[in-house]
Chain A
Amino acid sequence: MQAFSDLLERLILTPSRNGKIALLAGYFRSQPSPARGWGLAVLTGELDIPGVKAGTIRKLAEDRVDPELFRLSYDYVGDLAETVSLIWPGQRGANRVPPIEDVVETLLGATRAQGERLVAGWLDMLEPKGRWALIKMVTGGLRIGVSARLTKLALAEMGGVEPGEIEEIWHGLEPPYESLFDWLDGTADKPAPDIAAPFRPVMLAHPLVTKDKRDTPDAIDPAMIDPDVFAAEWKYDGIRVQAVSENGTRRIYTRTGDDISHTFPDVLAGMDFEAAIDGELLIGAPNGEVAPFNELQQRLNRKTVTKKQMETRPAFIRAYDILVEGEEDLRPLPFRERRQRLEAFVDRVGSDRVDLSPLVPVTTLEALEDHRNAPPAPEIEGLMLKRWDSVYEAGRPTGPWWKWKRDPFLVDAVLLYAQRGHGRRSSFYSDFTFGVWRDGEEGLELTPVGKAYFGFTDEELKLLDKFVRENTIDRFGPVRAVTATEDHGLVLEVAFEGLNRSPRHKSGLAMRFPRINRIRWDKPAAEADRIETLQTLLPPDPIANP
């Protein structure tokens, strides 16, 4: 566990992406198998070890330390895993640090109850850093700012291979990945796992910034957007998937290669073809349109799906590319040809689970701008621009594809409540709930419409925190209510990507991706927006008859 916990600590403290990749690659290079393989499995979240609840960990600690001392410590440290790892009364001296393969292999064969006992035993043996890593492992979700993708990049770096090569075989491999490491070490051939319907690494787009908006190196000249050169499509607000059906095996992958087939049996049933296609997974609304993203959210992250969910929230793929058809790999063809093949394919297959992503006519730059900012449906986030001559290339090449998102919506809202943040912000009020005006029974009142905890600079955070402390009118636990009247109140300009209907919220709506765009110290609270402004942005009620 020593090398692995050292790695976790350095990862969490290293801000730069390249630095993280170097640390990961260094770990994979220096550690023997199977230790590094189990480490890799933990980092990529591939292990299904019996979980231990955070509450249980806390109880284990409180059985060993005075609860009052524990509380004072937890208050100071702010993070449970870290508090327990530091306060745990380890046996001074004679400690034997269990190797990671022992920990993981033992846990994999354990029941939940056994798992708890094992963890307590290891906590006795480990040093604080090792305890912290163990607690992170068993309570689920390392949250150390390392994605599975970044880990695979590090593997590629370690072995001097292309990241796409790793993604292609990833699904056929199993922890502790000995054949993978043998290949990356250069002592064996590339593993050729027998994967039916394999994942093909996807092609990604860069966000497009035009030079007239912001003159940064990644900005491009608007004149470059030439209708002869680029095709345009709507950018739908679903999830990017790759649907593969080959030799009787059907799979749906996310863009990072995670297999989510089990969640969408309705789509799988409609994949009666021999091909690999690229498209957006969406939910159909009863009126034939696309349902808002939160309808899709209801179906994601579930291990099983009910019949009722499939009926009320039918999923389908809006196809925008075709990578393989039959035996033929179409990826080396230019987009113009692939598009023709795709159109013919969708037409011929005639599945009610696959339709074609329409092209948006590219006439002038102005017309495109209008389309981008006034898309025909609220579920459209903007435009995708693809060069007609672009081949399908894994990764995120600069130039062939661009995503051009709609500008965010803005609303002026009034700060209502503030809550203390976590981690490095735990000493600041940094989670802000804001509201807009509406007519209430006793006249004008503020109704909460969202919560934002980023968008501001550290400097602004200090000022916001000061405002909260100086204008507190009430407290409930960690939350403070602040003065918010027509005469006294702080106006926040909030940017957001869209609105959903939400019966759970008093205002009936939920913001997508809200963040504080600007603090309007200058603006009187009475001049903040009204709820009607937001209501006009709501999508039509998709499921009128539940």
Chain B
Amino acid sequence: MIRPDLLLKPTPKGLYCPPGDFYIDPVRGAVDRAVVTHGHADHARAGHEHVLATPETLAIMAARYGEGFAGSTQALEYGEAVEINGVTVWFSPAGHVLGSAQAVVEWKGLRMVCTGDYKRRRDPTCRAFEPVADTHVFISEATFGLPVFKHPDTDGEIAKLLDSVRMFPERTHLVGVYALGKAQRVIKLLREAGYHETLYIHGALEKLCQLYEDHGVALGPLESATLETSERGAQERFRGKIILGPPSAFHDKWGRRFPDPLPCFASGWMGVRQRAKQSGVELPLIISDHADWDELTDTVREVDPEELWITHGREDALVRWAELEGRKARPLRLVGYEEDNFE
């Protein structure tokens, strides 16, 4: 069989396919042809000449960057294949966010699968991860690639938030969530846990929540957390309520107006107490849209590729694990994926 790095190879602009002449999730500058795994801004950048992605990912990009975010676009449903300069490309669900996909690239009998970002936990807002059989090279992310990252049961974390709301009814629970994926998942999980009160959302979340609704993900009653009036006491109505917004907003003026705010943050990083303390989080919610250590290693065992490549994250530990398992592994050390901000 041909050498895998003839089909895909790491370059400063991202993972490049020489025979197909395209990049997967290019990180730097505009390219002629991009295959985009999902809508997070570090994977899906604006300005490329041609973009191939799932219809949901294209919709997300259009919502964020405006309709003219690329010269031309091509929507590809999960499981459908296209040919690019003789290279076959198709998508398999990645379970990360709405529309997220693993990019499967095939050429001369060689099958390589790039996961983009993925998780294995249940997520009521997107299609679950589907492993691809007969993968020769599995190109995995490793955002949480250390054995200290073992995300607890997600329902338990949601229960923790609801318990806190009951225990501190006089405080405003400010929940930090990333605008794409995490926000909608947390909202949906709250609904599933029986919380049907109005949830208040920061302006940065509105467009994407609407987009999820349009794609059939019902999120229940949402209201803008913006105050129309500067009248004193107007913020009192937020007492005891749950407000969702990007974590960065909680430390500025916006977050400080709420009565007795209790900062929460839904992220896989919250598994490390020091990270929570450092960011001023009082209630860490360990809810992640990335695979934890067990999910990463279990997935590699399940897919059982001939080679494991690691795109970004804490690759050293995963490489070490592969070594102990007698697996061939290669860190790609791709730069440009801002894992901290997109989890």
Contact = CB atoms under 8 A, between A and B. Distances in A.
A389 B120 CA distance: 72
Nearest to B279: A424
A426 B274 CA distance: 10
B178 to A, nearest CB: 21
Contact of B277 (A69, A128, A132, A424): A424
Question: How large, as a class, is the contact surface on chain B?
Answer: 20 to 34
A344 interface: no
Interface string B124-163: 0000000000000000000000111110100000000000
Contact of B274 (A19, A66, A82): A82
A149 to B, nearest CB: 22
Interface in B259-316: 271-274, 276-278, 280-284, 314, 316
A13 B283 contact: yes
> Chain A at the B interface: mostly helix, strand, loop or mixed?
helix
Nearest to B320: A68
Contacts of B314: 72, 76
B321 interface: yes
B1 interface: no
A76 B152 contact: no
Contacts of A69: 146-147, 317, 320-321
A385 to B, nearest CB: 37
B2 interface: no
A83 interface: yes
Contact of A86 (B148, B167, B281): B148
Contacts of B316: 72
Contacts of B149: 86
B227 interface: no
Interface in B221-279: 271-274, 276-278
Contacts of A87: 147-148
A32 interface: no
A12 B276 CA distance: 10
A426 B278 CA distance: 10
Nearest to B271: A86
Contacts of A26: 167
Interface in A421-438: 423-424, 426
B278 A86 contact: no
B273 A82 contact: yes
B269 to A, nearest CB: 11
B150 A86 contact: yes
A31 interface: no
A13 B147 contact: no
A72 B146 contact: yes
Contacts of A77: 148, 272, 274
A128 B153 CA distance: 12
A13 B273 contact: yes
A12 B273 contact: yes
Nearest to B263: A13
Most buried by B among A69, A83, A128: A69
Nearest to A423: B274
A127 B149 CA distance: 13
A405 interface: no
A78 to B, nearest CB: 6
Interface string B56-93: 00000000000000000000000000000000000000
Contact of B276 (A13, A65, A76, A86): A13
Given A9-B273, A73-B317, A424 B278 contact: yes
A337 interface: no
A398 B318 CA distance: 59
A46 interface: no
Contacts of B146: 69, 72-73, 76
B25 to A, nearest CB: 25
Interface string A63-107: 001101100110011110011001100000000000000000000
22 contacts: A9-B273, A12-B273, A13-B276, A13-B277, A14-B282, A15-B282, A26-B167, A65-B147, A66-B321, A69-B146, A69-B317, A69-B321, A73-B148, A73-B317, A76-B148, A76-B314, A77-B274, A79-B274, A82-B272, A423-B277, A423-B278, A424-B274
Given A13-B282, A73-B148, A424-B278, 8 more contacts: A13-B276, A13-B277, A69-B320, A72-B316, A72-B317, A82-B273, A86-B271, A426-B274
The 4 closest A-B pairs by CB, nearest first: A86-B148, A424-B278, A73-B148, A72-B317
